[in-house]
Amino acid sequence: MMNVYFLVEGKTEKYVYPQWIEGLIPEMLEIKNPKDVNINNFYIFSSMGFPKIHDDFRNTIKEKIIDKYDLIVVILDSDCRPVEEREEEVYKICVEENFDLSKVRVIVQDVCFETWCLGHTNIVKRNPQSKKLKAYLDHYDVTSLDPELMRAPDNIKEVTAQYHGKYLKEVFRERNEGLRYNKGKQAAQHINFKYYEQIKKRNETTNHLNSFSKLVSLFDSLKMNLSSSDNLISHKIKV
């Protein structure tokens, strides 16, 4: 049995991650209310930003219902800060609240969720017609360079995370297939399980998107735990 509570920073992840989990771990069922947790369930709560996610995490681990969950997964953006620093901020809260560190996993999206999405090489047109996309590719070609290392140009006012988001939006627009990337529920129409597999492939065949590999490892661990539990139950029934 494995019940997992996901706490995510962005409003897009709340809709995308369930599709990825369904594709990878169909045994786990999403619940819409954390109190409905039973067997092999997961619940996702969106904090809608930083630093609010810290407050939400602190409040979550104080709730009695969290005792029914085997794992709490906190997923947040690095926003160009060191990944280890963002991880440590979450673990510090655990120490302050005397919460079991073994029940917590922290996944830092470096720089942000859209950064990972730029790792889907095949969705980026090599010879775009859009001047905007050409400018993005001239500044930093995400098809050959690690998206996590891309920073916004010095001559614009946008922070890097915003720049990555607009880059991705232009990639979708250039596809000219009615695709639009907007944060939130609409993004989940396109950032589906097949999209996840493309990002994973990029990560496995290059040394790019290092922070994404931590998400892959988490999913692999959950699959293994569920498989072990099922095998144990089957063995007991046979005996």
Of 215, 200, 229, 198, whose CA–CA distance to 6 is shortest? 215
Question: Is it the case that residue 238 has pLDDT exceeding 80?
Answer: no
Let me know whether 66 and 121 are in one domain.
no
Query: What predicted TM-score, i.e. pTM, was given to this entire model?
Result: 0.92
**Considering only 72-76, 109-113, 121-125, which range has the smallest mean pLDDT?**
121-125
| Domain CATH number, residue 62 | 3.40.50
* Cα 93 to Cα 115: distance, rounded to the nearest angstrom: 27
Let me know whether 68 and 127 are in one domain.
no
Range of the domain at 195: 115-200
* Cα 64 to Cα 93: distance, rounded to the nearest angstrom: 17
Question: Is it the case that residue 230 has pLDDT exceeding 70?
Answer: no
Let me know whether 31 and 129 are in one domain.
no
Let me know whether 65 and 140 are in one domain.
no
Let me know whether 106 and 10 are in one domain.
yes
Let me know whether 48 and 165 are in one domain.
no
Let me know whether 138 and 56 are in one domain.
no
Let me know whether 33 and 108 are in one domain.
yes
Let me know whether 220 and 106 are in one domain.
yes
Let me know whether 16 and 105 are in one domain.
yes
Let me know whether 135 and 228 are in one domain.
no
Q: What is the rounded average pLDDT for all residues in the chain?
A: 92
The count of domains in the chain is 2
Let me know whether 90 and 137 are in one domain.
no
pLDDT of residue 228: 73
DSSP string, 39-79: SSEEEEEE--STTHHHHHHHHHHHSGGGGG-SEEEEEEE-T
Return the percent helix, strand and coil in the chain, to nearest 5: 55, 10, 35
pLDDT of residue 179: 67
